Structure 1
């Protein structure tokens, strides 16, 4: 099997989006709440034996976990062609991946039992968030389940100036305009598209803390990531800046998993 392509491999370490930089360095789990919150999300969404669509699977880390749970079918929707090819290698021969925008997948109406999306709505503005959730609802059969894992702000009463400061700090460090919501705002986003909330779980946002890296990547993977950091100066500067941002705002950041269903 050929090596998996890494999106934005032609961009230097100071310009590439934060999640792709981490992936290039060997970080496989790129979710705010870590692999355990992802596994909680999958367990509660019950993908075994049913048709699953994953929106924006990236390089296929969660896709592999989904396939291991033996769904009836898997379809990914990924906008980046290189990432789509990487996920196809993970899910073949059971699954397929289409190259399309998450808000306009081109897949049939009411043709999925479970739709899953992780760490992608956070990166969208208000209108795009709503459009992607609406697309997930369109794809789901009556009673189907929509499961998301995103970045949340706490507490609900967080001051607007603090929210703005966090957004600006994230934009500087990860090179993306992240727009996390509070827990109730995430719930309202799903409810506003007609979904019924079933489960809400949160976990610390500790993506780049050493113990979380070991928990997510295993000891060998964590060591590989650390060695790559030591060898690549510009990448190390970026990662340390990201970690500093996450730590500076850790009291206001959480990973969140929500599972909701469409009315029958």
Structure 2
């Protein structure tokens, strides 16, 4: 819309912008591998959301009437976007997920969606440690990330896929198997209470109709048709997802900080 705040990386060329922000430029609002179904599975009181992006999950969290909501993003443009969604019902901070600046034990729920996937091993562990610090005893950390299946997937296939994703979406994505995601959380002292997986259908028509609605899909298709560079990248990304559909999945995990 004409008066919408600028999207993150709005000044970057189409061929250089990370894939999730490219889809946002084209009108896609649900940028999650498992779709809204997996997002709704993770919602819950005092909530901190790390890297809220376009605010789509923030809107659903607020619909559940939490006692408080705080979004934390390192990108000022992303914070401005989320603030238009949150309004006076919460607040948004410019800070990193590794160092939010929030006090210890301020949250009952910490949410992160498709942001750990974009980190290397050290970054993943630093962010999980910060989430644990923010949680009160008994609080829950819920994540929605890109997963690999099965758990015994060959290392060679993992490396091949990660290199392909880096070329296609312009982000050094490092998805993990469900067992590896569990190990990441458990190694930080969390107790994993549940997991869920969904087919990786971010660019599938059925998933997009469910997530975006018919009007949203028409908007996305129209924008893709008008932009040749974006169309080339979206089709390449769709092809990558299709070629590796046997090993890619959306994964959600719910973990509790022990009392």
* TM bracket (short chain): over 0.9
Rounded to whole Å, the distance in 1 between the matches of 2:243 and 2:163 is 13
Rounded to whole Å, the distance in 2 between the matches of 1:2 and 1:77 is 23
Structure 1 residue 53 displacement after superposition: 0.2
User: TM-score scaled to structure 1, two decimals?
Assistant: 0.96
**Structure 1 segment 15-94 matched on structure 2, within 5 A:** 15-42=16-43, 47=44, 50-94=45-89
Structure 1 unaligned spans of 5+:
none
Which residue in the other structure is 1:225 paired with?
A: 220
1:213 to 2:208 alignment? yes
User: TM-score scaled to structure 2, two decimals?
Assistant: 0.98
Which residue in the other structure is 1:260 paired with?
A: 255
Structure 1 residue 228 displacement after superposition: 0.5
Deviations 1:36-59 (CA, angstroms, capped at 9, x unpaired): 1111122xxxx2xx2100000011
Which of 189, 192, 198 is the equivalent residue of 1:194?
189
1:12 to 2:6 alignment? no
Structure 2 unaligned spans of 5+:
none
Which residue in the other structure is 2:99 paired with?
A: 104
Structure 1 residue 157 displacement after superposition: 1.2
Which residue in the other structure is 1:181 paired with?
A: 176
SS at match of 1:152: strand
SS at match of 2:198: strand
Which residue in the other structure is 2:232 paired with?
A: 237
Structure 1 residue 94 displacement after superposition: 1.1
Rounded to whole Å, the distance in 2 between the matches of 1:153 and 1:146 is 20
Give the alignment's Cα RMSD to 1 decimal.
Answer: 0.9
Rounded to whole Å, the distance in 1 between the matches of 2:14 and 2:230 is 5
Deviations 1:154-205 (CA, angstroms, capped at 9, x unpaired): 1111111100110011001100000000000000000000001111000000
Moved over 6 A (4+): none
1:138 to 2:138 alignment? no
Rounded to whole Å, the distance in 1 between the matches of 2:83 and 2:237 is 29
Structure 1 residue 3 displacement after superposition: 1.0
Structure 1 residue 4 displacement after superposition: 2.5
Which residue in the other structure is 2:120 paired with?
A: 125
Rounded to whole Å, the distance in 1 between the matches of 2:176 and 2:226 is 36
- For these two proteins, the number of residue pairs brought into alignment is 258
